[in-house]
Amino acid sequence: MLNDEVFHINFGAAIAGLNKLEAKKMTEATQEKDYLMVYIALVALVFISVLLVVKRSESDKFAPIKEQLNEEHRLMNIRVLN
């Protein structure tokens, strides 16, 4: 009967140890998942920044052409009076 009690105590301790180990693994998995979201956010931020820089560069590059087109449009916008 004493052996049964020792077995139950050891079995209970083993189950408690497994529960702690599973909790630790779940915590580590949660932390990895959190870092994954941070990495995805950083990649998205870098991608958007690159797009904005390229867009601004193209705007500066074609600014003289846009000014010329606006000037031509202004000159062509003449009202004819009867």
The values of phi and psi at residue 62, to 5°, are -100, 10
Distance of CA 72 to the CA centre of its chain: 45
Average model confidence (pLDDT) across the chain: 76
Whole-number Å distance between alpha carbons of 10 and 1: 14
Span 18-42, pLDDT tens digits: 667 666 766 666 666 678 888 999 9
pLDDT at residue number 40: 93
Q: Where are the domains of the chain?
A: 2-76
Span 41-65, pLDDT tens digits: 999 999 999 999 998 888 778 888 8
pLDDT at residue number 48: 96
Whole-number Å distance between alpha carbons of 29 and 24: 9
pLDDT at residue number 2: 47
Whole-number Å distance between alpha carbons of 15 and 20: 9
